[in-house]
Amino acid sequence: MSDYGHDLLFGAFLTPTAERPHQAVDLAVVADRAGLDLATFQDHPYQPRFHDTWTLLSYAAARTERIHLSGNVLNLPLRPPAVLARSHASLDLLSGGRIELGLGAGGFWDAIEAMGVRRLSPGESVAALEEGIEVIREIWAADKAGPVRVDGQHYRVHGAKRGPAPAHDIRIWVGAYKPRMLRLAGRAADGILPSLAYLPGGADDLAALNEHVDAGAVAAGRDPRAVRRLLNVSGRFAPTGTSFLDGPAEQWAEDLAGLALEHGVSAFILATDDAATIERYAAEVAPATRELVAAERSARS
Amino acid sequence: MNVRFGVLLTPGIEAPEAVVELARTAEALGYDLVMVPDRPYEPGLLDAWTLLSWVAARTERIRLAPGVLELPLRDPAALARAAAGLDLLSAGRLELALGAGSAWDAIEAMGARRLGADQAVAALGEAIDIVRGVLDAGEPRPLRHLGEHYRIPQVQRGPLPAHRIPVWVGGHEPELLRLAGREAGGWVATLAELPPDGFAAAGKLVDEAAREAGREPAEVRRIVVVGPDADPSALRTLAAEERVDTFVISTDDAAVLRRFAADLRDLPAAVPVVVRPASVRAKRRAGIDYDSVPPSLADTAVEPGDLEYARVRSTYLRGGAPGLVLRPRTVAEVVDALAFVRAHPHLPFGVRSGGHGISGRSTNDGGIVLSVAALNSVEVLDRDRRLVRVGPGARWTDVAAALLPYGWALSSGDYGGVGVGGLATAGGVGWLAREHGLTIDHLRAVEMVLADGSVVRASERENAELFWGVRGAGGNFGVVTSFEFQVDEVGDVGFAQLVVGADDPAELLVRWGAAIEASPRDVSGQLIMGRPRPGRPHVAQLMAVVDAREPETIIERLRPLASVGPLYDQNVVLIPYAGVMANAADGYHQGQGEPVSRSGLIEHLTPEVARAAADLLAGGAVHWFQIRTVGGAVSDVPPDATAYAHRSANFSLVVMGSVERRLDAAWAGMAGHVEGLYLNFETGTGPDKVAAAFPPATLARLRELKRRYDPGTLFRDNFTVDPQEETR
Ligand SMILES: Cc1cc2nc3c(=O)[nH]c(=O)nc-3n(C[C@H](O)[C@H](O)[C@H](O)COP(=O)(O)OP(=O)(O)OC[C@H]3O[C@@H](n4cnc5c(N)ncnc54)[C@H](O)[C@@H]3O)c2cc1C
């Protein structure tokens, strides 16, 4: 049983469909007004039915006021890290500190390769991601002396100027499932962002995920609490409860509070493109979950 | 045409909001374009693409361009997708300016490979091909580019941007100027970086390269960046003598923007910018006088070489390759469009609203299409009388959604994507037909443009005979530009989808027909059946709408329907009528080939009719078989009240096949069992079908109307009523 004590975040995981160009933007606005903490968009640059995620995210940031936004998760092989760092810093400055960086090592290699990028082995892509994170953090470190110098296998940045510094401490959340990637997240990232649907054993797998992240953090001399555990979930509101996140809002709150207290998950990002569901999630599920978790945490301490 | 003005901002990181505010000021001052420099290696500046996206969300009219993008630090395929997305989000306001790379030390420090000047231009040339290739989403094959500098095994094209994004090239190197002349839609020059007489010399290089490539020099726009202290008279000279059509003032000072706007407003451009380059004109079709498209329509017209062609060439069911699609936005523009069509009497000519016509005549091969999709408003005229005015280009899902807040609905059809124009000129067999009649039965008036270009209103009181003809044969007499309907109060409805066994299809048809004919009028429905396949249970899909709010009533109404055969599956929901109609697909039409269907109206599903229908289905020539209910309120209307005359039928049958000859052979078995047809479910458009759709007395009246309103048969492609032929 692990609970890292983070405050809880609730978000929406939106499909960046290009066929209705404003759908995802409008839903981000709904999420913003409803009071969710995060609006996130998947990133598949090889998929022409989707918007370019960064363009969409920038546009949506300009249309919202309060909510934080991030890729879920951005495809590093198709987005050079130095440019990624500067564009995130820029948008963070424009939005008054509302941008986070969800980052992935790239999943669909056939499609990535077809766009002209060299295919990496799983081991290589972990290494590339680690170097990418280093480049990004170095660029953001505007006050450090001397130019950026990262001499990696995959990314070589020699003498680039530092900056701009973002408006706030942008969190780097990594889409991670396998031990090596999880340990890297423990060493170098601010969070992991897997999807529950991709865990073969369901929520039970979270314990193992946490172990790897914690081990990575400890080995690097970090406190495991420095790494937030985020999770993409999907569900359905129904009058009577049948299974996990399939039932009334009160049951959702029980389900999510269970994950928070049992596995330390502290950000629940709901995959949906339905405005009413977003509103209900924000109005009913988020406060009830927070209440349950707060009550249990104070009982424990 | 006037010279355009733009502003080039310096987006410092210290005051991001001020940069955005300046872009908004430029927009308010009437500037045409805002550019932001792209220097990804310069930490003091905001990232150009991010800022452009942000500015797009905070402005409404002004065009947006990077000035210019440092290509070595961008992946061209990814850039193209991002460009398409930004163009879609900004409703077609993006212009793309690309550079070969300038600050090579900084570029290299960011991790990109250094290129020599000529190599960099060659790479830019490849990148332009890739960008254009990805944007060309109408091209079905994926893009493959195996070049010297970029190697892309195969990338999917798309998304299709909102407009043909111009691709400009920025710089002054001779090789780059030649590339601009050969390939680009514009050349971006920075006056301060050229020697005093350098502009003319550079421009000459661009023009020469254009001519060598078989282009007109005017195809390459000239965009010039000038400093805040530029002398207005010098700019006038550049516009007059050097064909500069866009000046971009580099400033971060609103006062400078105001001054330029005042000094140079309405400066005429020396030559009209060529909107369609030679490569586009090369795809024009014979017999169309493209150069005399009325000016009001020139901007929105689409021809085969245009990027947007993919969006408009085909309809829902039929593939097409029209030579020109005119897209009027106002009634006056419809008048202009018809004048142009009158000058082309020998070409195919289709009128399109929602593009769902089963006969597919709203597209063609090599002809003209007049699309009124842009006339798509839905407005309430009179709350007490529930009178609404709807544009022909609205889709029925939009109409239903707009009426929902009032607690109203207008029965149309079963599919939300269908357009108002085609359906409301022919009939409209919808989910509430038995209770509330056909869509045309709710029509109180239309406004239409006649063949001679006159705009008329038709109702029971004005042009009453025309109003009669519009309700059933509207496409023959003009282009309807608005419909006034009286709609009904309709709340939530029960929507049922049932699957029943159909081992004996004839028996099922008889039982379903009897059950639904015996139902109260608040029930309308349909039956869909596939061809029986050996070894698989044969089933039919039954759908019904029950206009009742109480679950008990709905269940009571559905019970007889659910027991016409063994019930395999059922799904019943209580939803607003607009919810039933919220089933329209996204995206543009990509129909292919020729649809083939036959329509027949049926009085009762007697055992004989059902036997014939079951044989038709078993024969294998039919892949779609659907019966909708009419009758009820539809039959209350006297046959001579509207041009849609077969009022006594209780059922409307449509079958679709793949091969017309086979389908006709199979359909022959229905002779004697059907009485007339419904135009909108029929793909045969010849005189025999027209005669089947309209009984002799009706047809005689329609001929008289055609003689009066369209004697030259301008409207000739879809179920044409021949003005001359005498009625048998
Ligand atoms: C999936 C699907 C489901 C359907 N379901 C139903 C149904 O349940 N009930 C029903 O009644 N019909 C139904 N239809 C048929 C439908 O009524 C016709 O296809 C109708 O013509 C479509 O209208 P549109 O504006 O989308 O078509 P278009 O293809 O744009 O137009 C079809 C024809 O209508 C004429 N026309 C179009 N606009 C105008 C105008 N402004 N002025 C004058 N003439 C014009 C032209 O002759 C044109 O060729 C369905 C069709 C499809 C494809």
Tens of pLDDT, residue by residue over B143-202, are: 999 999 999 999 999 999 999 899 999 999 999 999 999 999 999 999 999 998 899 999
Q: Write out chain A residues lying below 8 Å of B106, CB-based.
A: 160-161
Is there a contact between A113 and B89 if contact means CB atoms under 8 Å apart?
no
Q: Which amino acid is at B57?
A: A
Is there a contact between A58 and B109 if contact means CB atoms under 8 Å apart?
no
Residue B278 has pLDDT above 60, yes or no: yes
User: For the residues B669-698, what does the mean pLDDT come to?
Assistant: 97
B427 C-beta closer than 6 A to ligand 1: yes
CA–CA dist A20, B188 (Å, integer): 33
The model's pLDDT over B434-486, given as tens digits with 9 standing for 90+, comes to 999 999 999 999 999 999 999 999 999 999 999 999 999 999 999 999 999 99
**At B640, is the secondary structure helix, strand, or coil?**
coil
pLDDT at B158: 92
**At B92, is the secondary structure helix, strand, or coil?**
coil
User: For the residues A161-178, what does the mean pLDDT come to?
Assistant: 97
**ipTM rounded to 2 decimals:** 0.96
Tell whether B568 is within 8 A of chain A (Cβ): no
B413 C-beta closer than 6 A to ligand 1: yes
- Residue pair B5/B249 in contact (Cβ under 8 Å)? The answer is yes
DSSP class of A284 = I
CA distances from B134 to A46, B75, B155, B543 (A): 11, 12, 8, 42
DSSP class of B330 = S
Q: Which protein residue has the closest C-alpha to ligand 1 atom 31?
A: B422
The model's pLDDT over B102-152, given as tens digits with 9 standing for 90+, comes to 899 999 888 888 999 999 999 999 999 999 999 999 888 999 999 999 999
Residue A82 has pLDDT above 70, yes or no: yes
Tell whether B159 is within 8 A of chain A (Cβ): yes
Q: Write out chain A residues lying below 8 Å of B155, CB-based.
A: 46, 114-116
| CA-wise closest residue to B428 among B439, B444, B416, B415 | B439
Given the structure tokens 């195919």, which residue do they identify?
B348
Range with the lowest mean pLDDT among A102-111, B209-218, B264-273, B356-365?
A: B264-273
DSSP class of A283 = I
- Closest residue in A to B152 (Cα) is A116
How many percent of chain A have pLDDT more than 90? 89
Q: Which amino acid is at B287?
A: G
CA–CA dist B171, B159 (Å, integer): 29
Element (H, E) at B145: strand B143-146
CA–CA dist B172, B203 (Å, integer): 10
| CA-wise closest residue to B183 among B98, B118, B281 | B98
Dig out the tokens for A237 from the structure. Answer: 């509101």
Range with the lowest mean pLDDT among A65-69, A106-110, A268-272, B519-523?
A: A106-110
User: Residue A141's beta-bridge partner residues?
Assistant: none
**At A272, is the secondary structure helix, strand, or coil?**
coil
Residue B532, classified by CB atoms within 10 Å of its CB into exposed (0-12), middle (13-18) or buried (19+), is middle
CA–CA dist A36, B634 (Å, integer): 50
pLDDT at B597: 98
Phi, psi of B350 (to 5 degrees): -120, 140
SS3 content of chain A, % helix, strand, coil (to 5): 45, 20, 35
B367 C-beta closer than 6 A to ligand 1: no
**pLDDT range class, residue A163, cuts 50, 70, 90:** very high
**At B216, is the secondary structure helix, strand, or coil?**
coil
Is there a contact between A51 and B89 if contact means CB atoms under 8 Å apart?
yes
User: For the residues B569-597, what does the mean pLDDT come to?
Assistant: 93
Dig out the tokens for B714 from the structure. Answer: 């301008």
Ligand 1 pocket test: pick from B315, B423, B715 the residue with the most ligand atoms within 8 Å of its Cβ. Answer: B423
pLDDT at B1: 74
User: Residue B497's beta-bridge partner residues?
Assistant: B543, B571
B524 C-beta closer than 6 A to ligand 1: no
pLDDT at B727: 46
Q: Write out chain A residues lying below 8 Å of B82, CB-based.
A: 52, 54-55
Pairing of strands A156-160, A148-151: antiparallel
Parts of chain B belonging to CATH 3.20.20.30: 4-264
pLDDT at A116: 83
Given the structure tokens 């950026």, which residue do they identify?
A148
CA–CA dist A83, A91 (Å, integer): 12
- Encode A74-104: b = buried (16+ Cβ within 10 Å), e = exposed: bbbbbbbbbbbbbbbbbbbbbbeebbbbbbb
Element (H, E) at B544: strand B539-546
Given the structure tokens 């469909």, which residue do they identify?
A17
- Residue pair A299/A260 in contact (Cβ under 8 Å)? The answer is no
In degrees, rounded to 5, the angle at the alpha carbon of residue B699 between the alpha carbons of residues B695 and B700 is 120
Q: How far is the CA of B343 from the centre of ligand 1 (A)?
A: 26
What's the gap in Å between the CA of A24 and the closest CA on chain B?
A: 11
Tell whether B29 is within 8 A of chain A (Cβ): no
Pairing of strands B539-546, B622-629: unpaired
Tell whether B15 is within 8 A of chain A (Cβ): no
Q: How far is the CA of B86 from the centre of ligand 1 (A)?
A: 33
- When scoring B14, B59, B89 by the number of chain A Cβ atoms within 10 A, the one with the most, hence best to mutate, is B89
Give the CATH H-level superfamily of domain B4-264.
Luciferase-like domain (3.20.20.30)
**A 79-108 → B contacts, CB under 8 A:** 79-80, 82-83, 86-87, 89-91, 93-94
- Residue pair B203/B222 in contact (Cβ under 8 Å)? The answer is yes
Is there a contact between A51 and B88 if contact means CB atoms under 8 Å apart?
yes
Q: How far is the CA of B288 from the centre of ligand 1 (A)?
A: 26
Given the structure tokens 């030579």, which residue do they identify?
B323
Residue A212 has pLDDT above 90, yes or no: yes
The minimum-distance atom of ligand 1 relative to the CA of B356 is 26
The model's pLDDT over B310-323, given as tens digits with 9 standing for 90+, comes to 999 999 999 999 99
Longest dimension (CA), chain A: 61
pLDDT at A102: 98
| CA-wise closest residue to A62 among A101, A83, A32, A21 | A32
**pLDDT range class, residue B409, cuts 50, 70, 90:** very high
Residue B432 has pLDDT above 70, yes or no: yes
Pairing of strands A191-192, A172-174: parallel
**At B611, is the secondary structure helix, strand, or coil?**
helix
Report the length, in residues, of chain A: 301
Helical axes A206-219 vs A179-188, angle rounded to 10°: 50
**B 105-134 → A contacts, CB under 8 A:** 105-106, 108-111, 134
Question: Taking all residues of chain B, what is their mean pLDDT, rounded to a whole number?
Answer: 95
CA–CA dist B443, B422 (Å, integer): 14
CA–CA dist A43, B727 (Å, integer): 64
pLDDT at B272: 65
CA–CA dist A65, A32 (Å, integer): 7
Q: How far is the CA of B457 from the centre of ligand 1 (A)?
A: 21
- Residue pair B96/B126 in contact (Cβ under 8 Å)? The answer is no
**pLDDT range class, residue B728, cuts 50, 70, 90:** very low
Question: Taking all residues of chain A, what is their mean pLDDT, rounded to a whole number?
Answer: 95
Dig out the tokens for A101 from the structure. Answer: 């960086």
Domains of chain A and any CATH numbers: 9-300 (3.20.20.30)
pLDDT at A153: 94
| CA-wise closest residue to A21 among A52, A43, A63 | A52
Range with the lowest mean pLDDT among A65-69, A242-246, B271-275, B714-718?
A: B271-275
Q: Write out chain A residues lying below 8 Å of B111, CB-based.
A: 80, 82, 135, 155-158, 160
Label residue A146 left, alpha or beta by phi (over 0 means left) and psi (-120 to 50 means alpha).
left
**At B486, is the secondary structure helix, strand, or coil?**
strand
Pick the CATH number of B492-704 from 3.40.50.2300, 3.30.70.1350, 3.30.420.40, 3.40.462.20: 3.40.462.20
Dig out the tokens for A285 from the structure. Answer: 């599920």
Q: How far is CA B245 from the centre of its chain?
A: 31
Q: How far is the CA of A298 from the centre of ligand 1 (A)?
A: 65
Element (H, E) at B636: helix B633-636
CA–CA dist B91, B163 (Å, integer): 8
Residue B587 has pLDDT above 90, yes or no: no
- Residue pair B719/B352 in contact (Cβ under 8 Å)? The answer is no
User: Residue B651's beta-bridge partner residues?
Assistant: B602, B629
pLDDT at B273: 62
Parts of chain B belonging to CATH 3.40.462.20: 492-704
Longest dimension (CA), chain B: 93
